[in-house]
Structure 1
Amino acid sequence: MSLLTEEQVMLRDSARGWVKANAPVSAFRRMRDSENPKSFDEATFKSIAEMGWTGVVIPEAYGGSEFGYRSIGVVLEELGRNVVAAPLIGSAVGAASALVLGGTEAQKKAWLPKIAEGTAIAALAIDEGPRYAPDKIALAAKKKGKGYTLSGSKTFVMEGMAADVFVVAARTSGKPGTEKGITLFLIPADATGLSRKGRSLIDSRGYADLTFEGVEVGADAVIGQADAGKALLDKVLDRATAAVAAEQMGLAQQAFDTTIEYMKTRVQFGQLIGSFQALQHRAAYLFTAMQLARPTVDEALQAIDEDRDEVPELVSLAKAAANDFINYATREMIQLHGGIGMTDAHDAGFYLKRARVLEAAFGSSAYHRERYAKIIGM
């Protein structure tokens, strides 16, 4: 990343060194082959927590370091380089942000220290269908006495099988598609009436579908304001989306680096394939695309730290650019490696599979282009 502070440079170097020593791609391969039900190595996550990365966006008063979103982006980029599986985006960014921005003091004290120290994992439960559509939330939260009863379902919940608590977006009034009536709730994973089922995706990470059958919660489970949670939800999702874009840049950067290194060593027709002008042109185009995508991600993360008004459009610009770049970079990685790139024995497939899942996570390129256009009045 460009224009990092001295502390961020130290954080990046520390993360890069840790990843190289403790989490090579071979470690992810072993985790995948072990069919770990949580889809991440607990010892690896414990080490990540000990490094302090689970508390980067959490205030010091609750056990975090409050280094900000640009800093967690630095960490996620380095983890993305080696496709490290760890519940950071959903827990230490998404759910943690919901509590920091809208949680009560009791909610913050109960969960933020645990998230920061890695002893608890939180998850965002937003989607209800096959596509990202936060404006169409339908899960019903009906008033009952002083509390609420939740009924409905959530799909593709990131780290859903490992989570100890969920930040759930529900509808307390209105119809799907209307802004008024959305409320965020903090619901423990062991709540009566809440069940979850693991869902396997091609990136071999942990996802779950949740079912709410008359889950009863008190008024103290509400995060922010009842019926007026749309603004809070948008802020939380912008932060999670920018974090995904940061991981995408790490994945794409490593895909590029690995491909260029291969072009320097692979001999075909008696020559290094990197000497072929047509392939040089493809590498140059890939490098240019990377230089265009990176500043959009940097700017979005920086804007979040500075709480600027243009955060929504910058985040959508960043996610659309990162989606396009990682799609292209991983396809080129496969093609320029030739036959070996198509096999499971090579690591290229891990990058391609993770890339496709992240492209859909928190909004596709089409979704964010449309959102960007609406924000700027097109």
Structure 2
Amino acid sequence: MDFGLSEERRILRDTAARFIRDSYDMKTRHALAASAEGFSRDKWREFAELGLVAALLPAEVGGLGGFGEDILVVMEEIGRGLVVEPFLATAVLGGGLIAELGSEAQKAILEEVIAGTRLLAFAQGEAESRYSLSEVRTRAERRGDGWLLNGQKSVVLNGDSADLLVVSARASGAADDEAGLALFLVDAAAPGVTRRGYATVDGGHAAEVGLADVKVGEDALLGEAGQAFPAIERVVGRGLLALCAEALGTMEVCRDMTLDYLRTRKQFGVPIGKFQALQHRMVDLCLEIEQARSAVMFAAGKLEASRPERERALSAAKNLTGRVGRLVAEESIQLHGGIAMTWEYALPHFAKRLTMIDHQLGDADHHLERFIAFSQAR
């Protein structure tokens, strides 16, 4: 099996890596994260001009691919640069749902997304849902020739800066039924929509979104009412792959910073990397990262497989990157010592991002249970 990248994907990777290296240092990143929206719209448009947003969407909607390998290449470089722009929220989740279910008129919105001029957010999670994709209590009721939405959404990634929300709501059925879910495009400035934004521990942004008698037309419905769950699961799967790829890039930066520190920090007149106990810990760390990379590459190749095969591979990758990410964060900090706890040093910011990645779209324990469930269902 050939695990090498095609020429086009090598160019994509090199373009992303060069741009981030030249214009996205840690000082710039901190300034962007501390801004009102938590990122730069100008920088987002620059990423879009380079084709990095289009690479995450299929060619049928004007993108450049959107395959598992494309997500892997782009998001790994995003992880290396600790980029705070909304790739996951806008391109992978919000854009992915419109690409999956949208009408021709709705898919036209993606032209603005690809150009970097419109931002999306997927309003899915709720206070009682934890990681369940089917636990949705927000209600959608037919009113005349449209719909009335009522409910609360929690921890909506980049929800405070989005221009358009992709909102999941229950059109029928019990609160935890997979059947009965619907998706709606909701203008973030529409009457009845409230947003309370806040910064997250890793430098990102999220929001609590309220929907109080929000009226939308029939043209706001994505796909068929009550049949949205399969598309939600598929697109969240793409999000899982994106997070795993981002974690790989982040882990490799932590590894390289730690190796460099072990080679330069001296104790008893020699670099501490000469001490066998530390060498053993570093070797174990490198082996775990390579194992995680194998799982993520396997998941990327299964993105278009049958549901059980796809979901097993994605949950296995998310479980492993979650566990290895925690190990990398802990070991890197311990091998550095006190300097790894200071704001001025880059390492702790990468470690915080690894911690947050584990909890987004389901933590390691959740995906272990999910992997077992799909394995037993065979």
Q: Normalized against structure 1, the TM-score is what?
A: 0.95
Q: 1:361 Cα deviation (Å)? A: 0.6
Q: What CA deviation, in whole Å up to 9, does each residue of 1:338-372 have, x standing for no partner?
A: 01111112111111211111111101011111111
Cα 1:347/1:2, change in 2 over 3 Å: farther
Q: 1:25 Cα deviation (Å)? A: 2.0
Q: What CA deviation, in whole Å up to 9, does each residue of 1:309-355 have, x standing for no partner?
A: 42111111111111111111111111111011111121111112111
* 1:355 alignment partner AA: L
Mapped contact 2:58–2:67 kept (Cα < 8 A): no
Say whether residues 1:20 and 2:18 are aligned partners.
Answer: no
- 2:243 — aligned with what? 244
- Root-mean-square deviation (CA, aligned residues, Å) is 1.6
Q: 1:67 Cα deviation (Å)? A: 4.8
* 1:226 alignment partner AA: A
Q: 1:8 Cα deviation (Å)? A: 1.1
Alignment partners' CA distance in 2, 1:191 and 1:180: 27
- 1:287 — aligned with what? 286
- 1:104 — aligned with what? 103
Q: 1:307 Cα deviation (Å)? A: 4.4
Alignment partners' CA distance in 2, 1:246 and 1:67: 14
* 2:120 alignment partner AA: A
Q: What CA deviation, in whole Å up to 9, does each residue of 1:83-133 have, x standing for no partner?
A: 111111111111111111111111001x11011110001111111127322
Mapped contact 2:71–2:241 kept (Cα < 8 A): no
Alignment partners' CA distance in 1, 2:139 and 2:227: 15
- 1:69 — aligned with what? 68
Alignment partners' CA distance in 1, 2:51 and 2:70: 12
* 2:23 alignment partner AA: N
Give secondary structure in 2 for the equivalent of 1:65. coil
- 2:171 — aligned with what? 172
1:113-152 alignment, distance < 5 Å: 113-129=111-127, 131-152=130-151
* 2:287 alignment partner AA: T
Alignment partners' CA distance in 1, 2:273 and 2:361: 36
The count of corresponding residues between Structure 1 and Structure 2 is: 374
Alignment partners' CA distance in 1, 2:48 and 2:81: 18
* 2:360 alignment partner AA: A
- 1:9 — aligned with what? 10
* 2:182 alignment partner AA: T
- 1:38 — aligned with what? 37
Unaligned runs of 5+ in 1: none
Q: Percent identity?
A: 33
Cα 1:62/1:101, change in 2 over 3 Å: closer
Unaligned runs of 5+ in 2: none
Give secondary structure in 2 for the equivalent of 1:251. helix
Give secondary structure in 2 for the equivalent of 1:56. helix
| Displacement over 6 Å in runs of 4+ | none
Q: Normalized against structure 2, the TM-score is what?
A: 0.95
Q: What CA deviation, in whole Å up to 9, does each residue of 1:180-220 have, x standing for no partner?
A: 11111111111211110112211121211100000111222
Give secondary structure in 1 for the equivalent of 2:376. coil
Q: 1:289 Cα deviation (Å)? A: 0.3
Mapped contact 1:63–1:117 kept (Cα < 8 A): no
Alignment partners' CA distance in 1, 2:283 and 2:37: 39
